[in-house]
Structure 1
């Protein structure tokens, strides 16, 4: 969660952004970067008509390994979904606001490229927050009940997992991928998953509120015939320096919810910096982080964790750099 000055409202159309992406990211380095959008650059719909998000796709840059034997060799169907933090927006939009200009290295396009180099066999999906208050505070209202500044109010039934599944299915279809997820609500959605489909979830800063909301929904989702097979394909979840402007629930501390996460078998990865977990003005963040990781360890979860830049002063620069270092 970033704490900066105010910026102006308004911004370029998605059509203009689409034309500008190659120039912003470097066309020779980003042949697979595109908006998963309709002809007019519209947002991708999710679980219902009231929930939609703009979605950026970076296609894989490396051929996936082919598996033989009992399993049929499959084409690459590995996916990574990234939820960005405050300030992070499309390059062209960040370039026109004084408070966001210094952080253009962390635009949605450039982060998609960073993640593509780290996960070259994955389709990288960057999910833009549905609302950016004052053009800098990311609000993931489609995934979790939130105030204007994006502080969440978690519950077990907001529908984050259902929205993500529907959003991915629609985005994969719009992008013309050969073996997309079945559409939300279709008869095939409960019967099978695409061959080789796997999913990694990554949240950075404010984007971690989406991961937290999904943790609260796990128990109910496992009993859902459409969501259960989708959840079984989640292999890894990464929390990268989670933070938001609320006074609590930066990290999940409810033991029942964490027990559901621990028994899922998903590999959990926690990467933080002093910017979030050692801020004396928000001491609860560090306490919650410690409780989150300790409870998961006690429950036997597959957990790895690291404090980055431990010996350096807390800074926004290093807060962002965790995206490169994790």
Structure 2
């Protein structure tokens, strides 16, 4: 299996000039050089911009193309990886207003509300447009529809979600939408993308929170009803992994980050017991012997244990 690696500029709204920058690493056939169905779609939502640090490690791990390569190295060459940088920034602060309409001008969420399913709808649209654009770049404008788009009737690819730093708010919104979606086990034609919101939500297999944090409350889900609904309605296994460093979990100026993380972990542990392990949760703490610093906040991306 070969890969196509590229940088895509994707607009979700044709009436605006803003676009999402997406670093993509996609599976292609070595013989026909066509896009093929992956085993999973790995989607990584990035956080605020950090520039001018002079630290080569931070600069390297701020490059979304490098992050896409890291994801493939950890998850295997059969996955499609997408690293998403938002279309809207207020200075260095990311504003994911297509995914969470209730954010303020600095991108901080006011609440997580499932009505309208904005995050799952935006994610499906973003991936669809990414593949349309990648098809043009890989195949040329006149090629046939994507290989594997409607062949045999098997389950679609699984979805693995990553939220890094402030990108974790997208995970919170998606988890909230997951709790209130109608989950079934649909058998749909094999496809490179998950072509509907319900199929996308139902095929979420893993959710990785990576050193998430905010300067106010809301870094992690703390609504018991959300996790309870997932435990009640889930028809297939789902795994949550909470990854953190002293930079976020030991910040005395922002104690709510650790408190919220502990609340979510406890809720997920309770759900795991109620569902006999269908809901799973892991807690992974990195660089515990080091003093908090900005470098470890990015270094965790490279050290990530996804096993």
Shift of 1:233: 1.6
Shift of 1:211: 0.3
Shift of 1:230: 2.0
Report the equivalent of 2:129.
170
For 2:87 and 2:229, how far apart are their aligned partners in 1? 28
Aligned pair 1:58/2:58, yes or no?
Answer: no
- From 258, 267, 280, the equivalent of 2:239 is 267
For 1:180 and 1:150, how far apart are their aligned partners in 2? 36
Change (3 A) 1:238 1:222: same
Shift of 1:156: 2.0
CA-to-aligned-CA distance 1:172-194 (integer Å, 9 cap, x gap): 2221253459xxxxxxxxxx988
Aligned pair 1:98/2:52, yes or no?
Answer: yes
Shift of 1:222: 2.3
What is the RMSD computed on CA atoms of the aligned residues? 3.0
Report the equivalent of 1:155.
113
Change (3 A) 1:170 1:209: same
Change (3 A) 1:165 1:292: same
Report the equivalent of 1:186.
none
TM-score, L = length of structure 1: 0.71
Report the equivalent of 1:189.
none
Aligned pair 1:307/2:285, yes or no?
Answer: yes
Structure 1 segment 87-166 matched on structure 2, within 5 A: 87=49, 98-99=52-53, 103-106=58-61, 107-119=63-75, 120-134=77-91, 136-144=92-100, 145-153=102-110, 154-157=112-115, 159-166=118-125
Report the equivalent of 1:200.
160
Matched position secondary structure for 1:302: strand
- Contact 1:193–1:230 under 8 Å retained in 2: no
Structure 1 segment 1-326 matched on structure 2, within 5 A: 32-37=4-9, 43-45=10-12, 53-60=20-27, 75-87=37-49, 98-99=52-53, 103-106=58-61, 107-119=63-75, 120-134=77-91, 136-144=92-100, 145-153=102-110, 154-157=112-115, 159-176=118-135, 177-179=146-148, 196-222=156-182, 226-245=196-215, 247-263=216-232, 264=234, 265-300=237-272, 301-326=279-304
Shift of 1:251: 0.8
For 2:96 and 2:23, how far apart are their aligned partners in 1? 16
Report the equivalent of 1:26.
none
CA-to-aligned-CA distance 1:199-246 (integer Å, 9 cap, x gap): 11111111100000111212333269942222222211111111123x
For 2:182 and 2:211, how far apart are their aligned partners in 1? 27
CA-to-aligned-CA distance 1:146-200 (integer Å, 9 cap, x gap): 223221122222511111111112212221253459xxxxxxxxxx988542211
Length, aligned pairs only: 261
For 2:183 and 2:287, how far apart are their aligned partners in 1? 41
Change (3 A) 1:274 1:262: farther
For 2:104 and 2:174, how far apart are their aligned partners in 1? 18
For 2:253 and 2:168, how far apart are their aligned partners in 1? 20
Report the equivalent of 1:10.
none
For 1:258 and 1:275, how far apart are their aligned partners in 2? 26
Stretches of structure 1 lacking an aligned partner (at least 5 in a row): 1-29, 38-42, 64-73, 89-96, 182-191
Matched position secondary structure for 1:45: coil
TM-score, L = length of structure 2: 0.75
Change (3 A) 1:117 1:62: farther
Shift of 1:59: 2.1
CA-to-aligned-CA distance 1:79-102 (integer Å, 9 cap, x gap): 1100011116xxxxxxxx635875
- Contact 2:208–2:240 under 8 Å retained in 1: yes
